[in-house]
């Protein structure tokens, strides 16, 4: 359990996590709210509803996977379990990209936007793909700005330091927050409500199409696969730089690649749901604690973390979906994850400061 990673140990962890995720997926597909009896219905959805529910559950899985994998990667990069796409401003940067795009398309092509929302042909594809590009570009630009500032003059001779990176991320995050407020106030009245829901982080069937899901899954894979391939190097990246280098890891290159991978994965999540907080914090931490099927080794953590994230968000979003049906109102999933994640973040912070004392 405490030694190296063998194929057997890896296979066991993979099997358990795939099993958990599949079970949660089946559960979420079968649960729905019943307005008439004010309770929960169990059972496979009716044929007309399957497509809707499948899209929503899959979207939650993709977002959960993306945020958790981005969290694992950023935590390794910063050697800090408190890092996640939110802390570094990557989520808010990606959201700025999407919001700017929404405003721009609304202003320049109101007809195309309306046609796309009616679900017709090429416009829909362009709108979907169009939205993924600013999501990733927003994340990558934020990532580059954070990265350049953190590795500039303040970094010293040893290159970019994790603490500097974290501080720069906090500053950029609040700048992005202001930009979002500005964009929201510039938006026409009709769009403002949509943007506000998006800002809170929600997964809604009306926005989801097969194309959106495929594009988001594709973007996720582009960020995820290089990170998974670098898993062994990420383990060593946990050591001080000179030690990691002497073991054969190109530390600066590892940081650059993992930062970009984390940005792309965050973009995939933002594309589907807007910013949903703390998934990237909670799920990797749970997996680190479950040594039998997790632990600190990134070769397992980059499998366990995303699958745990998928399960967690599928469950959270199902709770939201049932709640929405019963209360006949909008109820963003980001609120649920923030209510769970906030105290969890404080718990980690307290535990960390006690350890450091």
Partner 1 sequence: MSAETQWRLEGVQFGYGERVAVDGVSFAIGGGELVAIVGPNGCGKSTLLKLMLGALSPAAGEIMLDKKPVRAWGRIGMARRAAFVPQMAGTAESAAGLSGGGFTVLQTVLMARYARHVEERSGILRAAGGLGIFGFETGADQEAATQAMWNADVHHLAAREIETLSGGEKQRVAIARAFAQDTPALLLDEPTSALDLYHQLELMEQLRAAVAGGKLVVLVTHDLNLARRAATRVLVMDRGKMVADGKPEAVLVPAVLEPVYQVVVDGGADGTLRFSRRATRA
Which residues of the chain form contacts with partner 1 (CB under 8 A)? 2-7, 10, 75-76, 78-82, 157, 161-163, 166, 226, 228-233, 235-236, 238-243, 245-250, 253-254, 257, 288, 295-297, 299, 348, 352-353, 355-356
User: What are the tokens at 324?
Assistant: 């929405």
Residue 80 vs 197, nearer CB to partner 1? 80
Residue 294: CB minimum distance to partner 1, A = 10
CB-based contact 296:303 (threshold 8 Å): no
DSSP string, 15-56: HHHHHHHHHHHHHHHHEEEETTTTEEEESPPPHHHHHHHHHH
Q: 251 in helix, strand or coil? A: helix
* Cα 147 to Cα 45, 165, 270, 341, distances in angstroms: 46, 7, 20, 26
Distance of alpha carbon 217 from alpha carbon 128, whole angstroms:
13
Residue 185 vs 353, nearer CB to partner 1? 353
Residues 6+ apart with CB under 8 A from 28: 57, 60, 314, 315, 317, 318
Residue 174 vs 250, nearer CB to partner 1? 250
Minimal CA–CA distance to 219: which of 262, 176, 280?
262
Residue 151: CB minimum distance to partner 1, A = 15
- Measured from the Cβ of residue 295, the count of other Cβ atoms closer than 10 Å reads 20
Residue 314: CB minimum distance to partner 1, A = 26
Residue 4: CB minimum distance to partner 1, A = 3
Residue 178 vs 252, nearer CB to partner 1? 252
Residue 132: CB minimum distance to partner 1, A = 25
Q: 142 in helix, strand or coil? A: helix
Residue 5 vs 30, nearer CB to partner 1? 5
Residue 177 vs 226, nearer CB to partner 1? 226
Residue 73: CB minimum distance to partner 1, A = 12
């Amino acid at each position: 359990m405490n030694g190296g990673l063998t194929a057997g140990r890896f296979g066991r962890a993979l099997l358990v996590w795939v099993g958990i995720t599949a079970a949660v997926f089946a559960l979420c597909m079968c649960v729905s709210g019943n307005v008439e009896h004010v309770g929960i219905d169990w059972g496979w959805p009716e044929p007309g509803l399957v497509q809707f529910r499948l899209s929503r559950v899959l979207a939650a899985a993709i977002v959960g996977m993306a945020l958790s994998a981005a969290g694992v990667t950023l935590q390794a990069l910063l050697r800090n379990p408190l890092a996640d796409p939110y802390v570094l401003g990557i989520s808010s940067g990606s959201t700025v990209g999407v919001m700017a795009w929404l405003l721009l398309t609304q202003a320049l092509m109101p007809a195309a936007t309306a046609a796309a929302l009616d679900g017709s042909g090429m416009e829909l594809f362009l709108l979907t793909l169009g939205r993924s590009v600013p999501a990733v570009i927003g994340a990558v630009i934020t990532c580059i700005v954070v990265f350049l500032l953190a590795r500039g003059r303040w970094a010293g001779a040893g290159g970019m330091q994790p603490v500097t990176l974290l501080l720069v991320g906090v500053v950029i995050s609040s700048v992005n927050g202001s930009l979002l407020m500005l964009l929201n106030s510039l938006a026409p009245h009709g769009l403002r409500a949509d943007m506000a829901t998006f800002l809170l982080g929600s997964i809604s069937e009306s926005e989801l199409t097969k194309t959106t899901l495929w594009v988001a899954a594709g973007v996720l894979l582009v960020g995820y696969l290089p990170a998974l391939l670098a898993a062994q190097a990420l383990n060593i990246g946990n050591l001080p730089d000179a030690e990691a280098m002497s073991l054969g890891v190109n530390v600066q290159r590892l940081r650059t690649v993992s930062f970009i991978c984390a940005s792309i994965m965050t973009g995939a999540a933002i594309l589907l749901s807007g910013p949903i907080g703390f998934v990237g914090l909670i799920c990797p931490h749970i997996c680190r604690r479950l040594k039998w099927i997790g632990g600190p080794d990134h070769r397992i953590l980059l499998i366990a973390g995303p699958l745990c994230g998928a399960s967690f968000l599928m469950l959270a979003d199902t709770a939201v979906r049932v709640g929405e049906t019963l209360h006949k109102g909008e109820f963003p999933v980001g609120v649920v994850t923030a209510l769970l994640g906030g105290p969890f973040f404080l718990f980690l912070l307290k535990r960390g400061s006690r350890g450091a004392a």
